[in-house]
Amino acid sequence: MQALPNAICPLCGGANSCAPAQAGRLDVECWCTKAAISPEALARVPAELRNKACLCPRCASATSAED
């Protein structure tokens, strides 16, 4: 399995800081492995973008669309 080369957050369009996406490998540790990801933020990811790109740290910790 290979990391998808998508470095764009599906919520804000900014850089998602995904180390595996940047490296193109899944054996690279990413910031998200040690972060709490908001279920509310995950729920806002459009269906067509789910499992295609990681959230950025700011969006991953947001609990509402206004955050």
Strand partners of residue 15? 8
Q: What is the pTM of this model?
A: 0.80
Q: What is the pLDDT of residues 28-37, one digit of tens each?
A: 999 988 999 9
Q: CA-to-CA distance for 46 and 43, rounded, in angstroms? A: 8
Name 34's Cβ contacts closer than 8 Å, sequence gap at least 6.
Answer: none
In this prediction, residues 13-32 reach a mean pLDDT of: 92
pLDDT of residue 52: 87
